[in-house]
């Protein structure tokens, strides 16, 4: 049974940019003021994430809204992959959608709300390209079975927490997400990498099992990044959380981690570290 709340829709057509954006916003009934918005991009399993009852409960726990966003071409000339680049026009459309929803929902804070992006496979591109344009508006990024960062300013993106999942068909080190994660970690980016070795690409059960890591990661990043008034984003550093050894599955606080820190996954807190161990199945949670 889904959590009770308000669900509104809005759309915007950017004819000159050949992009249209349709958004459906869910705000739990108990959330009087939205501190953050999680954007689930429509691509692959995006709707399943948006419709997940555990995700809806997380919205209530973090005082967040959940926006399901669909970016497509107006003329049908642009491919779906092209529209996933937020710089084409989707970023502008998304911000306009939030302005409309702010007016119609009574949640005026949505106009300037900070955003955390979740995208599956090619849908993860939208979040990374939006973050490159609007880093001060981006809380964090989750790329489920996707999320390779290319052509973006690494200095900008390296300050934004990111979680990359890969499946059994994209095992490191050949996976593009692994390469992106490695590049970020080499400059101290607060980035997490998780291998679901038993997950087929797009498998729904694997997506649900990933919640053991995804949900505590999102919760911790919102708590650490979003100021109490929701107007500014705080910087998180490599040394502010835990680290996980991608080969052995061992986790420890930053100060207690004895391996090569630049080669370890950043984890925002201990609950996330334990969830990382469960999802990656590299070692038993302790």
Q: Is 181 within 8 Å of 147 (Cβ atoms)?
A: no
pLDDT at 148: 67
- Taking the CB of residue 108, how many other CB atoms lie within 10 A of it? 13
Q: What is the DSSP letter of 242?
A: E
When pLDDT is cut at 50, 70 and 90, the band that residue 226 belongs to is: very high
Question: Structural domain boundaries of the chain?
Answer: 5-241
Joined tokens for residue 262:
């630049």
From the list 272, 271, 269, 248, the residue with the least C-alpha distance to 258 is 248
| Range name among 61-70, 158-167, 277-286 with the lowest pLDDT average | 277-286
Does residue 250 surpass a pLDDT of 50?
yes
For the residues 144-152, what does the mean pLDDT come to?
73
Q: Give the tens place of pLDDT for each residue, 83-136.
A: 899 999 999 999 999 999 999 999 999 999 999 999 999 999 999 999 999 999
Q: Which CATH architecture has domain 5-241?
A: 3-Layer(aba) Sandwich (3.40)
Torsion of CA 146, 122, 217, 193, to 10 degrees: 10
In sequence order, which residues have a C-beta less than 8 Å from that of residue 29 and are 6 or more positions away? 3, 4, 5, 6
pTM score of the predicted model? 0.94
Does residue 1 surpass a pLDDT of 90?
no
Task: Report the distance separating Cα 64 and Cα 38, nearest Å.
Answer: 7
Under DSSP, is residue 44 helix (H, G, I), strand (E, B) or coil?
coil
Does residue 152 surpass a pLDDT of 80?
no
Does residue 286 surpass a pLDDT of 50?
no
For the residues 147-158, what does the mean pLDDT come to?
74
Task: Report the distance separating Cα 26 and Cα 59, nearest Å.
Answer: 9
Q: Give the tens place of pLDDT for each residue, 158-214.
A: 999 999 998 876 555 446 778 888 888 999 999 999 999 888 888 999 999 999 999
Joined tokens for residue 19:
């992009």
Task: Report the distance separating Cα 27 and Cα 253, nearest Å.
Answer: 34
Bridge partners of 39, per DSSP, are 67, 117
When pLDDT is cut at 50, 70 and 90, the band that residue 285 belongs to is: very low
Task: Report the distance separating Cα 281 and Cα 66, nearest Å.
Answer: 29
User: Which residue is it, tokens 């306009």?
Assistant: 96
Q: Give the tens place of pLDDT for each residue, 5-35.
A: 899 999 999 999 999 999 999 999 999 999 9
Dihedral over Cα of 275, 52, 70, 44: its sign: positive
Task: Report the distance separating Cα 14 and Cα 87, nearest Å.
Answer: 13
For the residues 41-47, what does the mean pLDDT come to?
96
From the list 30, 223, 273, the residue with the least C-alpha distance to 116 is 223
Give residue 94's Cα distance to chain centre: 15
Look over the chain and give the mean of its residue pLDDT values, rounded to a whole number.
90
Q: What is the DSSP letter of 251?
A: E
């Amino acid at each position: 049974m889904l959590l009770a709340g308000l669900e509104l829709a809005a759309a915007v057509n950017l004819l000159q940019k050949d992009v249209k954006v349709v958004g459906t916003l869910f705000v739990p009934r108990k959330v009087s003021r939205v501190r953050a918005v999680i954007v689930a991009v429509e691509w692959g399993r995006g709707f399943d994430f948006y419709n997940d009852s555990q995700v809806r409960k997380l919205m209530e726990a973090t005082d967040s809204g959940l926006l399901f966003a669909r970016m497509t071409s107006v003329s049908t000339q642009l491919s779906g992959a092209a529209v996933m680049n937020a710089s084409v026009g989707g970023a502008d459309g998304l911000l306009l959608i939030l302005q409309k929803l702010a007016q119609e929902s009574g949640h005026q804070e949505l106009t300037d709300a900070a955003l955390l992006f979740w995208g599956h496979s090619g849908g993860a591109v939208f979040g990374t390209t939006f973050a490159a344009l609007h880093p001060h508006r981006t809380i964090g990024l989750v790329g489920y079975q996707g999320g390779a960062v290319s052509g973006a300013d690494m200095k900008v993106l390296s300050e934004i927490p990111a979680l990359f999942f890969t499946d059994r068909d994209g095992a490191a080190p050949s996976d593009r997400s692994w390469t992106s994660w490695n590049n970020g970690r080499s400059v101290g980016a607060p980035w997490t990498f998780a291998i679901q070795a038993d997950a087929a690409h797009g498998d729904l059960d694997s997506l649900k099992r990933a919640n053991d890591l995804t949900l505590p990661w999102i919760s911790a990043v919102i708590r650490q990044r979003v100021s109490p008034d929701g107007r500014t984003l705080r910087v998180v550093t490599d040394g502010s959380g835990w680290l996980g050894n991608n080969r052995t599955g061992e986790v420890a606080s930053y100060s207690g981690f004895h391996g090569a820190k630049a080669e370890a996954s950043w984890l925002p807190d201990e609950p996330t570290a334990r969830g990382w161990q469960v999802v990656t199945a590299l070692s038993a949670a302790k």
